[in-house]
A and B are shown apart, each in its own frame.
Chain A
Amino acid sequence: GAVVSQHPSWVICKSGTSVKIECRSLDFQATTMFWYRQFPKQSLMLMATSNEGSKATYEQGVEKDKFLINHASLTLSTLTVTSAHPEDSSFYICSASLGKRDWGEQYFGPGTRLTVT
């Protein structure tokens, strides 16, 4: 149980375009979902936290107008990278939590590799 999927697994887009990444909890309802970014040979950095039905909370230094997060249901959160540029090329990973008591056991998706040309 506790499976999280992401779609697409990889995407190539042209500079200036937008790309949407989906994160789904397949067999549980996720009160909270998280979005991370990982550059090559670096560790994961938390970008934002989203709660179903409310606005996302962004970490310091993350542009909320560039990285749009929508958490419309308990099983789906989306991250849209708007006006993507080559420096946005990265590995984007989402995770989902069952709730307050299980925040430590975040269940991670397989990640989405974004390449902006």
Chain B
Amino acid sequence: DAKTTQPPSMDCAEGRAANLPCNHSTISGNEYVYWYRQIHSQGPQYIIHGLKNNETNEMASLIITEDRKSSTLILPHATLRDTAVYYCIVRVLNDYKLSFGAGTTVTVRA
């Protein structure tokens, strides 16, 4: 699986959009970009995934650059409950393995 690079931490203000970057410059054509998050002392939670088109669901939006070498997860209106470690993972769709890196610790402040 391609490696990903994420900033170790970031702060954002409650009510504002949080933009989480992820670099995956060695991504292959058949690899998807997945985002999970882990709130302290809980199991990870699936957020969203995409191949090359931008995706949106009730939790977030995923913007993938045209060359697919990077992506951004957008939490449109961050709340205190969005404070968590966010993991960007690239993998082939039918490969069960999820390789969790260090992720980005996001702290939402009031």
Provide the bound-state CA to CA distance between A74 and B49, in Å.
26
Provide the bound-state CA to CA distance between A79 and B24, in Å.
34
- Residue of B44, B96, B97 near A108 (CB, 8 A) is B44
Contact with B along A75-103 (1 / 0, CB 8 A): 00000000000000001011101001101
Specify which chain A residues have a CB less than 8 angstroms from the CB of B101 in the assembled complex. Answer: 43
Find out whether the CB atom of A44 lies under 8 angstroms from the CB atom of B96: no
- Residue of B42, B96, B99 near A103 (CB, 8 A) is B96
Find out whether the CB atom of A104 lies under 8 angstroms from the CB atom of B93: yes
- Residue of A94, A100, A101, A110 near B42 (CB, 8 A) is A110
Provide the bound-state CA to CA distance between A95 and B46, in Å.
11
Find out whether the CB atom of B43 lies under 8 angstroms from the CB atom of A43: no
- Residue of A6, A43, A100 near B103 (CB, 8 A) is A43
Contact with A along B37-56 (1 / 0, CB 8 A): 01001111110010000000
Find out whether the CB atom of B46 lies under 8 angstroms from the CB atom of A107: yes
Contact with A along B96-110 (1 / 0, CB 8 A): 111111110000000
Find out whether the CB atom of B103 lies under 8 angstroms from the CB atom of A103: no
Does A32 reach chain B (CB closer than 8 Å)? yes
Which 6 interchain pairs have the tightest Cβ spacing? A108-B43, A43-B100, A103-B96, A44-B100, A93-B43, A108-B44
Partner-A contacts on B (CB < 8 A): 32, 34, 38, 41-46, 49, 87, 91, 93-103
